[in-house]
Chain A
């Protein structure tokens, strides 16, 4: 379909300054910006006057709970949420049920997306070890041939440093990306809140910062040993950001992401045992939050993700330590991220890079740019639609949000994937 997006402010993460211009799409690709190519006749025109046109978001960590946990969510419900909120690409960690450690599960995910999905691009991250058991390597090469874009053991421990070293060697040998959420499982223990004054007062089993940094230090040493390209996920602490900065300065092939909620919430938000504030890693101190923000601004942290973990209502209807951790994040990823621009943490194009170009580059995916010849995964955003976050309005099946009642100022009016309009917001009444 020939599509013209008229007069929007084009936010290209590669460009210094957004520019107001028309954008032309044909054959699933961006064919021109500014002047129409000769003979271009749009079958459809989107009026983007006063709106931003940017690449669709690439969410490098989102659990869709499919296959295996239909009570929490499924591909249909979550891709519907994704496209309506401007996320066109999702990387899926391997801890589905069964885990993504065999080609059949990869195919099942793609099949379900074709049958029931809403056109979002899904990229499975394969299990680093068989069954995520931490002992035997998965068939990484076959999984890679079948479309796994990276390998991770998600939030499951590896049996030993030796297994980790060999898994990273094997991945490096085939130039696959390794994704690690750094966690020392003994230091994590049965903890459920950041080790600090809040956990002390509430008597909550505490998670020290070292549960992340002790693991991260070891992981970085194994990167140095093996040369495996490694992406560190869901960092939560100031010290972790420092360690990533040092590793990068030494030239190690490391990159990092941070879940968007870590930039907005701290352990204080637990209040009186609000189980929607239960996350692993935990919400940490204000000091950590500020340091993570600075690391996002200076590029130490390359990507922002939703760390989407939708839950059924019952999973959170428990006393805090027994509730299941995680936040339903697809519905709020873009709106929260744009707040960072409103708060002058970083310029719009820089922020968008952390949600599009950077994850696309790191994970080896197309998209993430606005330029002639790039795939047309695009979103149109109205920066002046005030809305109040209500769990009941979430499109995701998971209503577990800690952002109930927050004010946001931007929303998606159109989502285009592969040149096709897959979402169009109802016009305001």
Chain B
């Protein structure tokens, strides 16, 4: 990308807006740093002083449960002061522009913004307009990217599978509307994953999906053949309106992950889901709670991954690796 505002002049992470435009060294640094933080999470006193004296604002223009709470926990464990705003219920409803909201908060000496917004590109927009020295972390922008979710997914895969280069990964479901899928695809490609498959009915696939560096399957059973990792995406109920899908029932029949279908994947394949899952729509309960599911582990890894990203952005990864340099 021509104007990669995520990186500073030395190639170090300044904002965390999307996986696209990053490089393998930064991704690996995030994963390694996250690993070093898992021990913090396991300690009795779960705090380190990396963000002591810094103020982080969590701006959620869209509802969120786990992303927001794991960000807040990560911030607390890094000893930050925290300001959390559900913006959809406050100022912007009264007509305040996004830029005004940002500038008013900046006046409160915020050091870092964590933002989720319904517009693709909103995190870039914020990053283009914050003062120098202030960082922006994307907690999901429209249908564009959700990079911390993708990083915790990469962390999970690396935790169970170690190396990406021999892996076949399938992403199943609503690719069209999924910012998680876009970030995952970029991350998997940067980590040299052997094959990335996306599996969905055509109405839930964006055009030219292959241009993202994936192979496309419209048949779930074929797509699951011999994969090492199955990532299920949440199917929003509103997709039944607007004629994207006939019914939840038919979706589950064609694209729901059942025990029987999972047998097509490798025997040691892991099953992931960014949550919140719809049991019986995209995934059968027995798979979700089954031995191959790592869905709950993903959530707990989310804290250390977000701690890692925030530490690196303030220049304190705690690791000696040189980042992108």
Residues of A bordering B, CB below 8 Å: 195-197, 199-206, 271-273, 314, 317-322
Contacts and interface: CB of A to CB of B under 8 A. Distances in A.
Interface of B: 1-3, 5, 20, 97-99, 117, 119-122, 124-125, 141-145, 179, 182, 206-209, 211-212
B252 to A, nearest CB: 26
A203 B145 contact: yes
B209 to A, nearest CB: 6
Residue among A200, A203, A205 having the largest count of chain B Cβ atoms under 10 Å:
A203
10 contacts: A197-B207, A201-B20, A203-B143, A204-B143, A206-B206, A206-B207, A317-B99, A319-B125, A320-B121, A321-B120
A396 B121 CA distance: 28
A199 B20 CA distance: 14
Given A196-B208, A206-B207, A314-B97, A201 B121 contact: no
Contacts of A206: 206-207
A202 B98 CA distance: 20
A32 to B, nearest CB: 54
Contacts of B207: 195-197, 199-200, 206
A53 to B, nearest CB: 41
B212 A201 contact: yes
A318 B212 CA distance: 26
A319 B208 contact: no
Contacts of A204: 120-121, 142-144
Given A200-B212, A318-B125, A271 B98 contact: no
B211 A273 contact: no
B138 to A, nearest CB: 12
Contacts of B99: 314, 317-318
Contacts of A205: 120, 143
Nearest to A194: B207
A419 to B, nearest CB: 48
A322 B119 contact: yes
Contacts of A200: 206-209, 211-212
B119 A319 contact: yes
A320 B128 CA distance: 13
Nearest to B182: A203
A203 B120 contact: yes
B142 to A, nearest CB: 6
B205 to A, nearest CB: 9
A272 B209 CA distance: 19
B211 A201 contact: yes
A202 B97 contact: no
Contacts of B1: 271-272
A422 B122 CA distance: 45
B124 A272 contact: yes
Of the listed residues A196, A271, A314, A321, the one surrounded by the most CB atoms of chain B closer than 10 A to its CB is A321
Contacts of B98: 318-319, 322
Contacts of B3: 271-272
A315 to B, nearest CB: 10
Instruction: List the 6 closest pairs (A to B, CB-CB), nearest first.
Output: A273-B121, A203-B143, A203-B144, A319-B119, A200-B206, A319-B122
Contacts of B179: 203
B2 A319 contact: no
Given A202-B144, A203-B145, A272-B3, A321 B121 contact: yes
Contacts of A319: 98, 117, 119-122, 124-125, 141-142
Nearest to A314: B97
A196 B208 CA distance: 6
